[in-house]
A and B are shown apart, each in its own frame.
Chain A
Amino acid sequence: MYRTLENNQSTTLEVDKIDILIAQMVNGLSYGMLLFVITCGLALVFGILGVLNLAHGSLYMIGGYVGYSVTATYTQSFWLALLTAPLVVAFIALIMERTLLHYTYKLGHLSQVLLTLGVAYVFHDIAKIIWGTNVLSIRVPESLAGSVSIAGQLFPLYRLVIIAVGIVIAVGIWWVQNKTRWGAIIRAGLSDREMIGALGVNISLVFTSVFVLGGILAGFGGVVAAPILGLYPDMEFQTLILALVVLVIGGLGSIAGTFTASILVGVLETFGRYLVPELSMFLVFTLMAIILVWRPNGLLGKQVAEG
């Protein structure tokens, strides 16, 4: 940055700098919202099922790949991909929950971690068999392809659309979690599955639904992110780590927290890349460490009372 400024002797230097800051802010926001779209499924499943789904990244990846197949091979429609990919992933999530995850609720978190990691490994190779190892990408639909100028700087329209999409999803999830009976039942099931059954709730059905919903969100995120992040081997693990970081910074079980954390991480990473490019990876983890030491339950995580 300094190098650039040194060479830029013009008197409009100050103005330029502010423009750049605004531009980076928008970049940060859109990247943050992209993170949110990717993370929200994980946050939902962990926040209310208590399952740390390490296969979330894989579901996201499958969403992206299916989206690719739909756009590149069979039809040319991004919108169709946006519709079908989440459904396909939802179906996979359904199978996964019913045949595997189902058994682990009584076994505790660690078993789930191991199980979902195993599933992620299996999906990794399956995806390799089906889609190969080349880098693939989904084309942005024509209608969203252009660029928009903000504060004299160009931005891809698609990035701005992502900001809107993120907000819509956030509101939707928040509403389900807080304004419906569903949220209460699920959280109850988390602390005492047996008892919620004795109150007449078929908790396995509820759990399955939530997991499938998480799958839908993962698949959706996969399609939405593919035009920007691309599809390639190992993408799921890269995404997973980032998603976990966002999840933890926000605090478990709080969609508002995940939302806040997404923006925070997005903005911080963007500015980190701008100011200290080599350290950007370091910065995110440092942020997480600082936040956790300062607030041991994440930004907005609730201290769950003991029974």
Chain B
Amino acid sequence: MKIYLKFSTALLLFAASPFILTSFHINLLTEILIFGIFALSLNVIVGYTGLVSLGHAAFFGAGAYTAGIIAQNISANLLFTLGGAVLLSVILACIIGLFCLKVSGFYFLMLTLAFSQMVYSFVYQSTGWTGGSNGLSGIPNPILFGWELSNTVWVFYVVASLFLVVYAILGIITESPFGKVLVGIKENEKRLKSMGYHTNIYKYAAFVISGIFGGVAGALYTYFNGFIAPSDIYWTMSGTVLIMVLIGGAGTMLGPVLGAALIVLLETIVSTYTNMWMMILGAVFIIFVIFFPSGIYGISKDIFKGIQNHTVRPKVKNISNEKVS
């Protein structure tokens, strides 16, 4: 019940925002939601399965470029472009996953990086389709049921609804028995195998799911921006989204979204005041690691728990006495 309440509130808030916010802020919010989806998708493998990828931009880029190229050459119909983006992300994830899941830990990180850089090189070199280093510009606005989404507000509504859908889907997946298995894999894969789980299949499924929603985020970014650059598929993009997940709180649903919001806001706001925004961003990372290692989500939870502890329970509890035997 509570869940539905939360969702309706979010829905109402989103519906109302264009009437409250300026278009600059709507743009900002749209971007946050897109990166929120992107971070959520990465979180499936990083936060839940414990596979840290530094190549997630490959899916974002694949989704973005596919949507853009389809819109330019075939049809700007949103269902078409989004469908194409999803299809290509699936194929890409299936291929990359096949190789990357053979390794683990830091090697996984680097192998995903390698594949995404290969995709990057491909995009960069295929000047004819992708515009190469100049990027792909002049992409027509998406069309939904014959309606051209020509302004920020429409795009925002599309992004916001898809965000809610993705959030719900991923929420259900991670809460499901399947999600529990992923968490188990992150904890102790060997034991899970002994329990009878074919862990490779689970990891592969998680990887593909993660890739799909990465692609969705990419396609949305194309609708939002009307322009795609190779930098969207570069490793720095993978790095940024990984940071969003880590700073927000890996392995939680809300965390990555909060992380995306923080990073997008910081980049936008800080860089209007100073050219030294990298220093400030860096300082924020450091502060998080040293003082709030469990991320934004962790902070809010700690604060919440702190209040509870002070009011409800004594601070030190005696575990030994709890034992029932």
Contact of A114 with B110 at beta-carbon distance under 8 Å, contacts A122-B279, A125-B276, A282-B121 already known: no
Complex contact B52–A110 (CB within 8 A):
yes
Q: Which residue of B lies closest to A281 (CB)?
A: B121
Do B117 and A285 touch across chains, with their CB atoms under 8 A apart? Answer: yes
CA distance A55 to B111 in the complex (A): 21
In-complex Cβ contact of A296 among B104, B117, B282, B286 (8 A): B104
- In the complex, which residues 272-325 of chain B have their Cβ closer than 8 Å to any Cβ of chain A? 276, 278-279, 281-286, 288-290, 293
* Residues of A contacting B286 in the complex (Cβ-Cβ under 8 angstroms): 100, 115, 118-119, 122
Does B79 sit at the interface, judged by CB under 8 A?
Answer: no
Assess A245 versus B110: contact at CB under 8 Å? Given A111-B293, A293-B99. yes
The winner among A103, A107, A120, A292 for most chain B CB atoms within 10 A is: A292
Residues of B within 8 A of A286 (CB): 114, 118
Main secondary structure of the interface of B (DSSP, over half): helix
A109 and B99 alpha carbons, distance in the complex (Å): 23
Contacts A109-B106, A114-B247, A124-B279 given; does A289 touch B289 at CB 8 Å: no
Q: Is the Cβ of A122 less than 8 Å from the Cβ of B283?
A: yes
Question: Interface size of A by Cβ–Cβ distance < 8 Å?
Answer: 45
**Shortest distance between the CB of B8 and any CB in chain A (Å):** 35
Docked complex Cα distance between A117 and B236 (Å): 11
Say whether B114 contacts A288, CB under 8 Å. Answer: yes
B235 within 8 A of A: yes
Q: Does B115 contact A (CB under 8 A)?
A: yes
Chain A residues 248 to 307 lying within 8 A of chain B, measured CB to CB, are: 248, 252, 278-279, 281-282, 285-286, 288-289, 292-293, 296-298, 306
Q: Which residues from B are CB-within-8-Å of A297?
A: 103, 107
Whether, in the assembled complex, B190 has its beta carbon less than 8 Å from a beta carbon of chain A, the answer is yes
Q: Which of B107, B113, B243, B276 has the most CB of A within 10 A?
A: B107
Q: Are A118 and B285 in contact (CB under 8 A)?
A: yes
Number of interface residues of B (CB under 8 A): 38
Q: Does B229 contact A (CB under 8 A)?
A: no
Does B23 have its Cβ within 8 Å of any Cβ on chain A?
no
**Residue numbers in B under 8 Å from A281 (CB-CB):** 117, 121
Q: Is A104 close to B, CB under 8 A?
A: yes
Question: How far is it, in angstroms, between the C-alpha of A306 and the C-alpha of B104 when the chains are bound?
Answer: 14
Query: Which residue on B lies nearest to A304, using beta carbons?
Result: B105
Min CB gap B97→A, angstroms = 12
| Closest residue on chain A to residue B235 by CB atoms | A241
Find chain A residues with CB under 8 A from B104 CB. Answer: 296
Of B102, B107, B289, the most chain A CB neighbours within 10 A belong to B289
Are B279 and A282 interface neighbours, CB within 8 A?
Answer: no
Q: Which residues of A contact B250 (CB under 8 A)?
A: 110
Question: Can you list 14 contacts pairing A with B, beta carbon distance less than 8 Å?
Answer: A100-B286, A109-B52, A110-B246, A114-B246, A114-B247, A114-B288, A118-B282, A118-B283, A121-B278, A125-B278, A245-B114, A252-B106, A288-B114, A292-B110
Residues of B at the A interface (CB closer than 8 Å) are: 52, 99, 102-104, 106-107, 110-111, 113-115, 117-118, 121-122, 125, 190, 235-236, 239, 243, 246-247, 250, 276, 278-279, 281-286, 288-290, 293
Excluding A125-B282, A237-B236, A282-B117, 17 further A-B contacts by CB distance (< 8 Å) are A46-B106, A100-B289, A107-B289, A110-B52, A114-B243, A114-B246, A115-B286, A115-B290, A117-B243, A118-B286, A120-B282, A122-B283, A125-B276, A126-B279, A282-B121, A285-B117, A289-B118
